[in-house]
Amino acid sequence: MMFKALILQAQHNLSDARMEFMIRDRLTWLRFLGLSLGDRTPDENTIRHFRNRLTETGTLKRVMKAFDWRLQKKGYTPMSGQIVDASLVPAPKQWNTEGEREAIKTGKNAKAIWPNEPNKAAQKDTDARWTLKVGGKVRHRENGTPLPMIALPVFGYKSHISIDRHFGFIREMAVTSASAADGRLLRHVVSTDNTGSEVWADSAYRSKRNEKWLSDRMLTSRIHRRKPMGKPMTKATARANAAKSSIRAHVEHVFAHQKNRFGLFIRTIGLARAEAKLTLCNLAYNFNRLIFHERRESMG
């Protein structure tokens, strides 16, 4: 019952207090949790303690693996290769002095930085980091030259995932601070269970080290090639990247679903709890994906 509540909470991105209210307010949620009108419902403290307990014992990671095993038993074997990507997940911004920021960068925890202010230390996230998000549609001047890209500062974490190309389930995941480089997490999210050898990813993952790592494991790299420094990209490279993009774009649909449907946002403090939040979110997505496939199969 409590695990069902956590999945509902992840799908609607609710705080613990709001989750307590929604369970009491909606009859459909009560029925889903197996409760009746006269039954006692979990309060926000119960929900928080249960999630924290799952986090501390590493149970959520095992549940993720167990569900993937069940998917394979049902015939949803990872096949046709895999697609890797990462997405920034914002968290509440932290306002610190220059000295406090330097202490955080050196790896000190909140208790060491604010030893005489335990209440303040309990509300400080020393694991999340700032980074710049450069993106959006490339716009051009009248003479055809591209306009500078806009860089937006983001504070929070980064969700790294790998999906199988055929069914679109999240097979592997990792969570880091927002400032972590995407390419360094490639080996942590590439699955060894996929029957296909191809790995798709954007140019942030291209490096000699990653190419060698994939080659050593008999995996075929479909990672985008980068534009040469100070030179235009050749037409052949542009066409090859465009062909890869048509396949790689499927992983963007996962992040779009989580952010638009789930309203993904990190409310907790610390990397461990952020990882628990994103694990639940990835599980919720896989549940939705399974429902999609089962409905499509039942409709013939």
Q: Given pLDDT bands bounded at 50, 70 and 90, which one contains residue 274?
A: very high
Whether the pLDDT of residue 282 is over 70: the answer is: yes
Q: Given pLDDT bands bounded at 50, 70 and 90, which one contains residue 298?
A: confident
Q: Given pLDDT bands bounded at 50, 70 and 90, which one contains residue 233?
A: confident
Whether the pLDDT of residue 226 is over 90: the answer is: no
Q: What values do phi and psi take at 291, rounded to 5?
A: -60, -40
Is the pLDDT higher at 108 or at 283? 283
Give Cα 276 distance to the centre of its chain. Answer: 11
What does pLDDT average to over the chain?
91
Q: Given pLDDT bands bounded at 50, 70 and 90, which one contains residue 137?
A: low
Whether the pLDDT of residue 7 is over 70: the answer is: yes
Angle at 255 between CA 129 and CA 272, to 5 degrees: 40
Question: pTM of the predicted model, to two decimals?
Answer: 0.90
Instruction: Report d(CA 115, CA 120) in Å as an integer.
Output: 9
Q: Given pLDDT bands bounded at 50, 70 and 90, which one contains residue 136?
A: low
Q: Which residues contact 136 (CB under 8 A, 6 or more apart)?
A: 149, 150
For the chain, the C-alpha Rg in angstroms (whole number) is: 22
pLDDT at 300: 62
Whether the pLDDT of residue 294 is over 80: the answer is: yes
User: Is there a contact between 91 and 257 (Cβ–Cβ < 8 Å)?
Assistant: no
DSSP state of 204: G
Instruction: Report d(CA 257, CA 268) in Å as an integer.
Output: 21
CATH superfamily, with its number, for domain 61-91+157-300: Ribonuclease H-like superfamily/Ribonuclease H (3.30.420.10)
Instruction: Report d(CA 14, CA 263) in Å as an integer.
Output: 9
Q: Hey, where are the domains in the chain?
A: 1-57, 61-91+157-300
